[in-house]
Amino acid sequence: MAKIMMVDDDKLVTDLLQKLLKAEGFETVSINESHKAIEVAKNEMPDLILLDLMMPQPDGFRLCRMLREDSQFIRTPIIIVTALDDSDSRAVAFGAGATDYLTKPFHPGELKEKILEALES
């Protein structure tokens, strides 16, 4: 099954996501420090990245751009998972290269559906 990397500064969130995704058969990697995310991604080579927006530097918008600027991650699906539910945040996230956008709180089935859609495209 696919390897999913979760980047969120809230360990409770990454722990919850890890449990949900492992129960669905995904391999998971989580990181709670955004400044280490690219290094971890290069070592782990995830099939998909779940990315929070509200984190210390770099924030999720910047990290998404940084990932897209790296040739190894140009085509890696990036799903934003955030509490930000405004149209400006969505527009900036998609402009930074996000594949999809999911707001917290979310239904686990919705997350799985978005992951499967992103992996198939």
Are 38 and 70 within 8 A, CB to CB? yes
Q: How many domains does the chain have?
A: 1
Q: What is the pLDDT of residues 55-96, one digit of tens each?
A: 999 999 999 999 999 999 999 999 999 999 999 999 999 999
Q: What is the CATH number of the domain that holds 73?
A: 3.40.50.2300
Q: What is the pLDDT of residues 5-27, one digit of tens each?
A: 999 999 999 999 999 999 999 99
Q: Which domain holds residue 75?
A: 3-120
Region 50-56: what's the mean pLDDT? Answer: 96
Amino acid code (one letter) for 5:
M
What is the pTM assigned to this prediction? 0.96
Distance CA(40)–CA(50), nearest Å, equals 13
Q: What is the DSSP string of 13-47?
A: HHHHHHHHHHHTT-EEEEES-GGGHHHHHHHH--S
pLDDT of residue 1: 87
